[in-house]
A and B are shown apart, each in its own frame.
Chain A
């Protein structure tokens, strides 16, 4: 399983989202090996990850990726928003968490 945080430059906001996801996976005590990384929109394709996290105004830049794999975030610093999305995915994928 791989989560990829994506932003325009691939080094600012996406990096923040990556860290947020990682700290949430730790909080949720997820044992399964989930890879989390960050990237710029230009270098991602549908195969780059299982789920893509992106700031909602960049949605169109990920047009080639199936909608079900794209998580749109309204705020990148609202940990609860990211947590809700991560937990929903974990449930959907039947991955154990707290």
Chain B
């Protein structure tokens, strides 16, 4: 399921040295706008919720999972990944981020398998370390594919 969503169109690796967290989330979400998974409005919502509620999307060291509640602006389940070579502070310097995930869900439960597979990857410290070191998107895709293959 995760591998149906994550591919060379939805994974990006950039330097990120001239970006702030909002630009990073916007860039991370761009592939999902392009493939008609989400509307731009959903991206605005994701940014707004961090502005009002704080950096709670910082789910683990150097990792952010941007998401919001869908309100007619999500057409299907989606996941995109941006890796910035430079860490970018999410709201404050207590929350430096290099791996930006954007999750789009259509309701509370239908994305269960995506979350499950994402957790398999993110709870594996060596896989996360490898993703943080990845030089390009092919490397990230290989890490994910390899990890999910092992689970089968």
Taking Cβ atoms with an 8 Å cutoff, the residues of A that contact B are: 7-13, 15-16, 19-20, 38, 40, 55, 57-58, 61, 75-79
Contacts and interface: CB of A to CB of B under 8 A. Distances in A.
Contact of B56 (A38, A55, A78, A79): A55
Contacts of B56: 7-8, 13, 55, 57-58
Contacts of A7: 56
Given A8-B56, A13-B56, A19 B119 contact: yes
Contacts, number: 71
Contacts of A12: 57, 65, 67, 103, 105, 115
A19 B118 CA distance: 11
How big is chain B's contact interface, by range? 20 to 34
Interface in B40-62: 49, 53-61
B65 A58 contact: no
Interface in B86-136: 103, 105, 107-108, 111-112, 115-116, 118-119, 122-123, 128
A79 B29 CA distance: 27
